[in-house]
């Protein structure tokens, strides 16, 4: 039986998938996988995969002869990811210590996770370690708030409604 905490994590991850993915993240997945030039048969790792919107697009591109793995620190988010795409290998772990052998993947992708890693330099080093020679890496990150068209307005609205700590 799931604990109350894990039920809450799964509920939060479900809300994330239903609300944030379509509004903020879904549109970027094809751009990231295209930048990584994922081809049929590729082995792909999605670091900080969330509920798997990027991994699912990578899986479509890699096809039935490919292999896609998604890694995230949240158990609840991985439960939702597995419900949405059971053919993908979902793994709990941290970007700074990837649980894979060196040169395991043809492509490594990450979408809007890098800025949350405890040690981004170490995480990038780990991504390069698991990448085959001449493999592809594609990472999307947000620009500074002042360079993002809609987000300063959204943050100001959140600050007005829930206060500065909530907006942060």
Which is higher by pLDDT, 143 or 30?
A: 30
Distance CA 106, CA 61 (A): 13
Q: Which residue in 9, 15, 29 sits closest to 139, CA to CA?
A: 29
- Please determine, for residue 42, whether its predicted confidence score (pLDDT) is greater than 60: yes
pLDDT at 8: 85
Q: Partners of 138 in the beta sheet? A: 109
- Please determine, for residue 166, whether its predicted confidence score (pLDDT) is greater than 70: no
In this structure, what token pair is assigned to residue 73?
A: 């620190």
- Please determine, for residue 99, whether its predicted confidence score (pLDDT) is greater than 90: yes
Q: What is the edge-to-edge ordering of all strands in the sheet holding 105-111?
A: 89-92, 67-72, 43-47, 105-111, 131-140
In percent, how much of the chain has pLDDT > 90? Answer: 64
Q: What is the pLDDT of residues 111-138, one digit of tens each?
A: 989 988 999 999 999 999 999 999 999 9
- Please determine, for residue 50, whether its predicted confidence score (pLDDT) is greater than 80: yes
- Which residue's structure tokens are 């900080």? 48
Which domains, and CATH codes, for the chain? Answer: 4-143 (3.40.50.150)
């Amino acid at each position: 039986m799931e604990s109350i905490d894990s039920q809450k994590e799964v509920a939060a991850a479900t809300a994330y998938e239903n609300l944030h993915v379509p509004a903020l993240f879904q549109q970027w997945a094809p751009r990231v996988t295209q930048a990584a030039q994922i081809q049929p048969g590729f082995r792909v790792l999605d670091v900080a995969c969330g509920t798997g919107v990027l991994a699912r697009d990578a899986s479509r591109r890699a096809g039935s002869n490919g292999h896609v793995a998604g890694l995230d620190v949240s158990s609840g988010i991985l439960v939702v990811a597995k419900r949405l795409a059971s053919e993908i290998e979902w793994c709990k772990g941290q970007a700074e210590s990837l649980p894979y052998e060196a040169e395991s993947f043809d492509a490594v992708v990450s979408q809007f996770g890098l800025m949350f890693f405890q040690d981004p330099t170490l995480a990038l080093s780990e991504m390069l370690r698991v990448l085959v020679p001449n493999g592809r890496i594609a990472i999307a990150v947000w620009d500074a708030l002042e360079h993002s068209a809609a987000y300063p307005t959204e943050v100001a609205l959140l600050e007005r409604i829930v206060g500065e700590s909530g907006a942060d």
